[in-house]
Amino acid sequence: MTPATPARAALIALDWGTSSLRAYRLDGTGRTLDTRHLPWGIMRLPQPLQDGAASTALSGFDLAFDQACGDWLRAEPSLPVIACGMVGSAQGWREAAYLDVPVDLARIGTLLTVVERTGAGPDATPLHIVPGLIQRHGLPNVMRGEETQVFGVMFDQAEKSGANAADSVLIGLPGTHSKWVTARRGRVTHFDTFMTGEVYAALRGHTILGRTMSDAPAADMAAFERGVKVAGAPAGRAGVLSTIFSTRALGLTGELAATSQADYLSGLLIGHEIAALAQMLHEQGERPRIVLCGDPALCQRYILAMQHYGLGTPEQAQNATERGLWHLAVCAGLVKAEPSAAGQRYAPPTPSASVQEPT
């Protein structure tokens, strides 16, 4: 029996963060053919092999790149490669300058930073890095990687509902540093950052609150919802610095089991985040359509909090990172644009993938 011919790819897309590297092999429609997850974030790269006084000319970035997609490129050498995330930070492979908000999403794809992989040979496939976004008005704010997820969400929203869809969307990206991004007609206009995930990890692992906690066999969602409600109760008006101590006090008084305290703390922190978000939207007089993008279990927690604070049940986006990388590659001219109303909306008529300085 003749083996089936592997589907041909059109693009390799990398989501390269601080702690991990995800690689996607995408076909001509943007569909994912293969996925790999490696531990090689920018702060933990493979080390070049030492041979006496000499060592390989390849850097840790080159070695991680080769493990992620080297065999794919050897099989299909003409594939372009695009990457988003912290690989474009000052600590990354090559710094990709931030673009100022507000910014048109389609413009992001025309301002990629190119890394010529000279250590891997003169014919090595270059890497195209997506720039992050910076917000300078008010308190400064930055993002790297999330802009690609936003692009994927907005593009797919438009594809589903037509070119005039997604005129105003609030995109929530829960995680270590949760982002809430306002996008209007294909343009990022504002975003806020909440360090909810990192603060939770720090409080649990490095403060007295964690001393009375113990691991639970399953999540205690009742304890989580209790924390969500406390954040918006009269006691919550004292602020998060006051309410988090109740995690310990409830345990000492026997009102909260050790196995429930972590979920209660999670509810408190997410509750304060969503209560603040709801208040901001109220003051702005806005009721935008909300889309969540992230880990399904974490998104479910955010949905419960949003329902409690009157924000309704948001939509949930799937595969936003790889979808965003695909559509950015189309805008950059790295892959051929598909003829569609949504594609015409976002793709510039004469895209360029060359290095450009933002203006």
pLDDT at position 157 over 60 = yes
On whether both 210 and 312 belong to a single domain, the answer is yes
State the Cα–Cα distance between residues 142 and 217, nearest whole angstrom.
37
pLDDT: which is higher, 121 or 340: 121
**Residue in 315, 319, 17 with CA at minimum distance from that of residue 149:** 319
Give helix 296-308 / helix 261-284 axis angle, nearest 10°: 60
In a domain, 356, yes or no: no
**Residue in 312, 313, 301, 245 with CA at minimum distance from that of residue 273:** 301
Give helix 146-161 / helix 320-332 axis angle, nearest 10°: 90
pLDDT digits (tens, 9 = 90+) for 235-263: 999 999 999 999 999 999 999 999 999 99
- CATH for 276: 3.30.420.310
On whether both 225 and 88 belong to a single domain, the answer is no
In a domain, 187, yes or no: no
On whether both 37 and 129 belong to a single domain, the answer is yes
CA angle 129, 134, 140 (to 5 degrees): 150
Q: CB neighbours of 96 closer than 8 A, spacing ≥ 6?
A: 88, 112, 113, 129, 130, 131, 132
pLDDT at 122: 76
pLDDT digits (tens, 9 = 90+) for 275-334: 999 999 999 998 899 999 999 999 999 999 999 999 999 999 999 999 999 999 999 999
Report how many domains make up the chain: 2
pLDDT digits (tens, 9 = 90+) for 170-213: 999 999 999 999 998 889 999 999 999 999 999 999 999 999 99
On whether both 198 and 252 belong to a single domain, the answer is yes
On whether both 198 and 300 belong to a single domain, the answer is yes
The answer, as to whether pTM is greater than 0.85, is yes
pLDDT digits (tens, 9 = 90+) for 118-137: 777 778 999 999 999 999 99
- Predicted confidence band at 161 (pLDDT cuts at 50, 70, 90)? low
Q: Is the dihedral of CA 327, 332, 336, 342 positive or negative?
A: positive
**In Å, how far from its chain's centre is CA 113?**
19
On whether both 30 and 136 belong to a single domain, the answer is yes
On whether both 43 and 135 belong to a single domain, the answer is yes
In a domain, 1, yes or no: no
On whether both 131 and 222 belong to a single domain, the answer is no
Q: Is the dihedral of CA 329, 332, 337, 340 positive or negative?
A: positive
Domain housing 283: 194-317
On whether both 161 and 13 belong to a single domain, the answer is yes
On whether both 15 and 121 belong to a single domain, the answer is yes
pLDDT digits (tens, 9 = 90+) for 25-78: 999 999 999 999 999 999 999 987 665 444 557 899 999 999 999 999 999 999
In a domain, 261, yes or no: yes
In a domain, 337, yes or no: no
Which secondary-structure segment (H or E) carries 199?
A: helix 196-206
Mean pLDDT, all residues of the chain? 89
- The beta-carbon contacts of 251-260 under 8 Å, at least 24 apart in sequence, are 251/212, 252/212, 256/223, 257/220, 258/212, 258/213, 258/214, 259/213, 259/214, 259/215, 259/216, 259/217, 259/220, 260/216, 260/220, 260/222, 260/223
In a domain, 116, yes or no: yes
- CATH for 139: 3.30.420.300
In a domain, 100, yes or no: yes
pLDDT at 51: 57
On whether both 290 and 324 belong to a single domain, the answer is no
**What is the residue whose two structure tokens read 């935008």?**
288
Do residues 14 and 84 make contact, with C-beta atoms less than 8 angstroms apart?
Answer: yes
On whether both 157 and 217 belong to a single domain, the answer is no
State the Cα–Cα distance between residues 265 and 277, nearest whole angstrom.
18
